[in-house]
Structure 1
């Protein structure tokens, strides 16, 4: 596909998304209907679509309309390119520009939805503008080295055999930032043989901050794909890892992932007894991950957020009930909004004086990874 044809394809996909279709679904439908598009074309169209969604409001303002065409025009202008060189109408390129197209201006902070901006500003304070700006750019790709199978140096070397360049982070050497050829990862020997797992830096830092010791019973209460369980599996010997999720289907890949990693995780639909550590990585707005899933920030509503707050509070209390005296409870979100983070912890501690907070972290994209929150509580 020519660059102009890729722009036309992105316009088609974006118009479907703006009409209400989820981004991944719209991209999949376009891909299935476009057998002529190679893997490079599909990747390029995906990048165009996600770049436009990250900067939806500002690119629409630059391009003159909140349409797929307006977003593509605005994106080219924002990148310092003349959209007229691609909007030619030749071949499969989009039609030429009209006189009133491409004459707007925009503020990058507008790419946080208007209704959530007050919450954003209150939650992030003097970092609000900088984090909003960071959310307009593509997130880096991070890997976690599986210490059960490899050292960081060994993982870097095996990745290099597949021409994937990665470097350790000085804060956590088992966290590798991918510098080149990230799209080869899932087919690489390091990934397929369980030496590395895809996991963002922030949750890796959160898991590294947990008080994990030999022989402990650990409950991953909202396990999903099991990323937290797998991250702590190599931190101590003899761990008993129990994974639970209200929707068991979300854990369907966990047995395969655990086998690949060389660790054992027990899946339990109704965990009982007490645990030394319970992890509650609760459903949330995902506001910390909006540069990876930019469609989500435009689909979130005030009603959605209110419903999530109720779910989070209920899960926090259920997970707390499984913590033994002297044990720990880790409350986590991939959000940067105070209502989902410190607000939930304050309300919980107000209701249950048997717990106290011993550590609290909020990471943002300014730290290199996604936005992520951890409150580590101890039961007296």
Structure 2
């Protein structure tokens, strides 16, 4: 079980000893992560009852998801749009990186997915996030035109990267599911492109290990939008400071981005590509 320390509410070195009774340790890569090793038959450690969780100092989040958010390199003062915010896991991580400064907009094409985000933002102490719930055919981002520093896309995908924790999910994947997801991903990338200002970037993230959803999707987007270019993966990993080089060696690198896998990085499978606009 992985946890992320919310830097708006606490620091890892302060939270860690308070969770020592659960056997919490620092995660190998994420500078914000804590890991509680659970055996196959272990009981739920009851994180939601811990004072640090109630006060918003920690969130449950896989280390790979934490790293994916970190690789977006969101900064204080930026205008950031989370296009596929869902329940708000990466929204919360990005908000902490922004330190309450700047403008954060969270939305999702499926308004049902947004239901938990309001309570989570409040508990985490996030005050600069504007949640925009879709209403019918209305475009909720009609006021944003080439002004975003960062558009975060936690893309709808097959979820093959989570199969280590949910092995039965592979049997629930329906015929044609990949094709549907590829269409969804292309559509959300197209929606993101006009929102980004010159010098801005898109952080494209999937929890998939399939090349069709990752590198191939990125190459197709670049072919349609030559004003964007792929950021070298070692530059993306540089946010990890002293661990950047070791992480870049552990992850699978390609021209399109970084792929984390359970075997290589000890995380869920995540692909991250940063696309910069000229």
Contact 2:16/2:25, CA 8 A, preserved across alignment: yes
- In the alignment, what sits opposite 1:126? none
Q: Does 1:184 align with 2:46?
A: yes
Return the match for 2:26 from 164, 168, 174: 168
- Between Structure 1 and Structure 2, whose CA radius of gyration is higher? 1
Return the match for 1:235 from 80, 84, 97: 97
Q: Does 1:372 align with 2:235?
A: no
Secondary structure of the equivalent of 1:338? Answer: coil
When the two structures are superposed, what TM-score results if normalisation uses the length of structure 2? 0.82
Contact 1:164/1:182, CA 8 A, preserved across alignment: no
When the two structures are superposed, what TM-score results if normalisation uses the length of structure 1? 0.60
2: CA distance, partners of 1:346 / 1:225: 29
- In the alignment, what sits opposite 1:362? 259
Give the root-mean-square deviation of aligned CA atoms.
1.4
Secondary structure of the equivalent of 1:223? Answer: coil
1: CA distance, partners of 2:172 / 2:10: 40
What are the residue-to-residue correspondences of 1:91-106 with 2, within 5 Å? none
More deviation, 215-224/303-312: 303-312
Structure possessing the higher relative contact order (Cα contacts under 8 Å, 6 or more residues apart): 2
Q: CA offsets per residue over residues 233-270 of structure 1, 9 Å max, x none?
A: 12234131110100112111111001111112211131
Contact 1:144/1:196, CA 8 A, preserved across alignment: yes
- In the alignment, what sits opposite 2:215? 342
Give every structure 1 segment of 4 or more consecutive aligned residues whose post-TM-superposition deviation is greater than 3 Å. none
Q: Does 1:325 align with 2:198?
A: yes
Secondary structure of the equivalent of 1:234? Answer: helix
Structure 2: where are the runs of 5+ without partners?
135-139, 234-256
- In the alignment, what sits opposite 1:146? 6
Secondary structure of the equivalent of 1:340? Answer: coil
Return the match for 1:254 from 104, 117, 130: 117
Secondary structure of the equivalent of 1:263? Answer: coil
1: CA distance, partners of 2:52 / 2:223: 46
Q: CA deviation at 1:182?
A: 4.7
Structure 1: where are the runs of 5+ without partners?
1-140
Q: Does 1:214 align with 2:72?
A: no
2: CA distance, partners of 1:222 / 1:233: 15
Secondary structure of the equivalent of 1:230? Answer: helix
Contact 1:164/1:185, CA 8 A, preserved across alignment: no
Q: CA offsets per residue over residues 180-218 of structure 1, 9 Å max, x none?
A: 665321211121111100110111112112222221010
2: CA distance, partners of 1:183 / 1:146: 19
Q: CA offsets per residue over residues 54-111 of structure 1, 9 Å max, x none?
A: xxxxxxxxxxxxxxxxxxxxxxxxxxxxxxxxxxxxxxxxxxxxxxxxxxxxxxxxxx
Contact 2:83/2:151, CA 8 A, preserved across alignment: yes
Decide which structure has greater helix share: 1
Contact 1:285/1:335, CA 8 A, preserved across alignment: yes
Secondary structure of the equivalent of 1:235? Answer: helix
Contact 1:164/1:184, CA 8 A, preserved across alignment: no
Q: CA deviation at 1:315?
A: 0.8
2: CA distance, partners of 1:302 / 1:361: 28
1: CA distance, partners of 2:218 / 2:272: 10
